[in-house]
Amino acid sequence: MQPSSPDVRPREGDPSSGPGGRRRRRLSLSARETLWAYLFLLLPLAFYGFLRIYPAVQSFNLSLHRWHVDPAKRVFLGLTYYRELVADPKLHRALLNTLYYAAIIVPAQLVLGLGIAVMLNAVRRLRPIFRAIYFSPYVTPAAAVAWVWGWMYSVNFGLFNNAIVAWDNFVTHLGLPWIQVPTLAFLSDPRQALPAVAVVVVWQQLGFQVVIFLAGLQGIPRMFYDAASIDGANSLQRFRFITLPLLNPVMVFSVVISTIATLQLFDQVVNINFTDQGGPLNATLSIAVYMYQLAFARFQIGYASAVTVLLFVLILIVTLAQLRLLQRRVEY
Amino acid sequence: MVELEPYSETRPRPNAGTVVAYVLLAVGSVAMFFPFVWMLFSAFKPLQEIFRMNVLPHHWTLASFRQVLFNTAFPRWFLNSLVVAGISTVSVLFFCSLVGYTLTRLRFPGRDIIFLVILSTLMVPTEMLVIPWYVMSTQYHWVNTYWGLAFPGLIPAFGVFLMRQFFLTLPRDLFDAGRVDGVSEFGLFWRIGLPLVRPGLAALGIFNFVGNWNAFLWPLIIAKSASMRTVPVGVALFSGEASTQWNLIMAASAMAIVPVLLVFFIFQRQIIEGVALTGVKG
User: pLDDT of B242-267, one tens digit each?
Assistant: 555 778 888 888 888 887 877 777 87
Indicate whether B135 and B46 sit together in one domain. Answer: no
- A57-78 average pLDDT score: 92
How far apart, in whole angstroms, are the C-alpha atoms of residue A193 and residue A280? 8
Indicate whether B184 and B240 sit together in one domain. Answer: yes
The alpha carbon of residue B198 is apart from the nearest alpha carbon of chain A, in Å, by: 20
pLDDT, tens only, A34-67 = 999 999 999 999 999 999 999 999 999 999 999 9
> How many distinct structural domains can be found in chain B?
2
Say if A5 is an interface residue toward chain B (CB within 8 Å). no
Residue that wins the pLDDT comparison between A297 and A151? A297
pLDDT at res. A128? 84
How far apart, in whole angstroms, are the C-alpha atoms of residue B42 and residue A307? 40
Contacts of A134 in chain B (CB under 8 A): 28-29, 32
Cα–Cα distances (Å) from B242 to A179, B72, B195, B216, B229, in that order, read 38, 11, 49, 19, 17
Provide the Cα torsion B19, B21, B23, B28; round to 10°.
-170
Contacts of B31 in chain A (CB under 8 A): 203
Indicate whether B52 and B94 sit together in one domain. Answer: no
CA nearest B20 in A: which residue? A119
- A230-237 average pLDDT score: 86
Percent of residues, chain B, with pLDDT higher than 90: 45
Q: pLDDT tier at B69 (50, 70, 90 boundaries)?
A: very high
Residues B7, A222 contacting (CB under 8 angstroms): yes
pLDDT at res. A119? 93
The alpha carbon of residue B101 is apart from the nearest alpha carbon of chain A, in Å, by: 10
Cα–Cα distances (Å) from B115 to A48, A74, A134, B166, in that order, read 11, 34, 35, 15
Q: pLDDT tier at A21 (50, 70, 90 boundaries)?
A: very low
Helix (H), strand (E) at residue B178: helix B172-180
Indicate whether B105 and B57 sit together in one domain. Answer: no
pLDDT, tens only, A245-285 = 888 888 888 898 899 999 999 999 998 887 888 889 999 99
A81-327 CATH, one of 1.10.3260.10, 3.30.413.10, 2.40.50.140, 1.10.3720.10: 1.10.3720.10
Q: pLDDT tier at A82 (50, 70, 90 boundaries)?
A: very high
The alpha carbon of residue A178 is apart from the nearest alpha carbon of chain B, in Å, by: 25
Give the side-chain half-sphere CA count within 13 A for A153. Answer: 22
Q: Do B217 and A288 touch (CB under 8 A)?
A: yes
Say if B216 is an interface residue toward chain A (CB within 8 Å). yes
pLDDT, tens only, A157-176 = 788 888 898 888 888 888 88
Indicate whether B22 and B81 sit together in one domain. Answer: no
B2 within some domain: no
**Which of A34, A219, A288 has its CB closest to that of B109?**
A34
**Which of A30, A59, A316 has its CB closest to that of B132?**
A59
B163 within some domain: yes
How far apart, in whole angstroms, are the C-alpha atoms of residue B194 and residue B191? 6
Full residue range of the structural domain in which residue B50 is found: 7-61
Residue that wins the pLDDT comparison between B32 and B16? B32
Write out residues 202-261 of A within 8 Å (CB-CB) of B: 203, 206-208, 211-212, 214-222, 225-226, 235, 238, 249-250, 253, 257, 260
How far apart, in whole angstroms, are the C-alpha atoms of residue A284 and residue A272? 10
**Quick one: B155 exposed, middle or buried, by C-beta within 10 A (0-12, 13-18, 19+)?**
buried
Domain layout of chain A by residue ranges = 6-45, 81-327
The set of residues, in sequence order, having a beta carbon less than 8 Å from that of A138 and lying 6+ positions away, is A204, A205, A206, A207, A208
Indicate whether B204 and B72 sit together in one domain. Answer: yes
Report whether pLDDT(A6) > 50. Answer: no
Helix (H), strand (E) at residue A66: strand A65-66
Percent of residues, chain A, with pLDDT higher than 90: 46
Percent of residues, chain A, with pLDDT higher than 70: 90
Residues B109, A33 contacting (CB under 8 angstroms): no
Contacts of B117 in chain A (CB under 8 A): 48, 53
Q: pLDDT tier at B15 (50, 70, 90 boundaries)?
A: confident
As for the ipTM of the complex, it is: 0.86
pLDDT at res. A223? 87
Indicate whether B158 and B246 sit together in one domain. Answer: yes
B230 within some domain: yes
pLDDT at res. A13? 41
pLDDT at res. A233? 85
Residue that wins the pLDDT comparison between B114 and A326? B114
Report whether pLDDT(A124) > 60. Answer: yes
CATH number assigned to the domain comprising residue B182: 1.10.3720.10
Q: Do A141 and B214 touch (CB under 8 A)?
A: yes
Write out residues 40-99 of A within 8 Å (CB-CB) of B: 40-41, 43-45, 47-48, 51-56, 58-59, 62
Contacts of A139 in chain B (CB under 8 A): 210, 214, 260-261, 263-264, 271
What DSSP state is assigned to residue A70?
Answer: S
- 3-class SS of residue A125: coil
pLDDT at res. B173? 87
Report whether pLDDT(A25) > 60. Answer: no
Indicate whether B257 and B234 sit together in one domain. Answer: yes
Helices B157-168 + B198-214 axis angle, to 10: 170
Angle (nearest 5°) at CA A321 between A319 and A327: 105
Write out residues 9-48 of A within 8 Å (CB-CB) of B: 30, 32-34, 36-38, 40-41, 43-45, 47-48
How far apart, in whole angstroms, are the C-alpha atoms of residue A138 and residue A230? 40
Task: Of A36, A201, A274, give the one whose Cα is nearest residue B189.
Answer: A36
Which contacts of B142-145 are long-range, i.e. CB under 8 A and separated by 24 or more positions?
Answer: B142/B222, B143/B222, B143/B224, B144/B222, B144/B223, B144/B224, B144/B225, B144/B228, B145/B228
Say if B221 is an interface residue toward chain A (CB within 8 Å). yes
Q: pLDDT tier at B164 (50, 70, 90 boundaries)?
A: very high
**Which of B99, B216, B280 has its CB closest to that of A212?**
B280
Q: pLDDT tier at A2 (50, 70, 90 boundaries)?
A: very low
Contacts of B10 in chain A (CB under 8 A): 222
Indicate whether B48 and B71 sit together in one domain. Answer: no
> What is the pTM (predicted TM-score) of this model?
0.86
Residues A194, A97 contacting (CB under 8 angstroms): yes
How far apart, in whole angstroms, are the C-alpha atoms of residue A260 and residue B68? 36
